[in-house]
Amino acid sequence: AQTVTQSQPEMSVQEAETVTLSCTYDTSESDYYLFWYKQPPSRQMILVIRQEAYKQQNATENRFSVNFQKAAKSFSLKISDSQLGDAAMYFCAWVRGGSQGNLIFGKGTKLSVKP
């Protein structure tokens, strides 16, 4: 069975600094997608960034970027120039490629941003 592990229950960063959230996953599939979702205190999950497993280039979305290490099954999220609004729960998620399957989530990392 596929699993997603986030080893950091909580992280803290100073405003304007950079923080990296860790995620590892376990799968025997070769075709899959990886995601980072943000869940602010209002509880609605928001997609932050996605990565296709077949792409070697790391995805980037403005201040958010990933370090995707396929062989190591590692998918970390880097947030640059952290802002107060970045404070939230962050969930790493995996889904099988193709037309079937459902997202499998890690347990999340709670990010605090200090002013």
Partner 1 sequence: DTGVSQDPRHKITKRGQNVTFRCDPISEHNRLYWYRQTLGQGPEFLTYFQNEAQLEKSRLLSDRFSAERPKGSFSTLEIQRTEQGDSAMYLCASSPSGTGGMDGYTFGSGTRLTVV
Q: Give the number of other CB atoms < 10 A from CB of residue 98.
A: 9
Query: Could you tell me the two tokens for 24?
Result: 């590892």
Least CB distance to partner 1 at residue 114 (A): 21
In this complex, which beta carbon is closest to partner 1, that of residue 99 or of residue 115? 99
> For residues 70-99, which are near partner 1 according to CB under 8 A?
91, 93, 95-99
In this complex, which beta carbon is closest to partner 1, that of residue 16 or of residue 46? 46
The residue ranges of DSSP E strands in the chain, in sequence order, are 3-5, 10-14, 19-21, 24-26, 32-39, 46-52, 60-61, 64-69, 74-79, 88-96, 104-105, 109-114
Contact predicate 92/35, CB 8 Å: yes
In this complex, which beta carbon is closest to partner 1, that of residue 68 or of residue 115? 68
Asked if residue 43 binds partner 1 (CB under 8 A), the reply is yes
Asked if residue 68 binds partner 1 (CB under 8 A), the reply is no
- Which residues here bind partner 1, judged by CB under 8 A? 4, 31-33, 35, 37, 42-47, 50, 52, 91, 93, 95-108
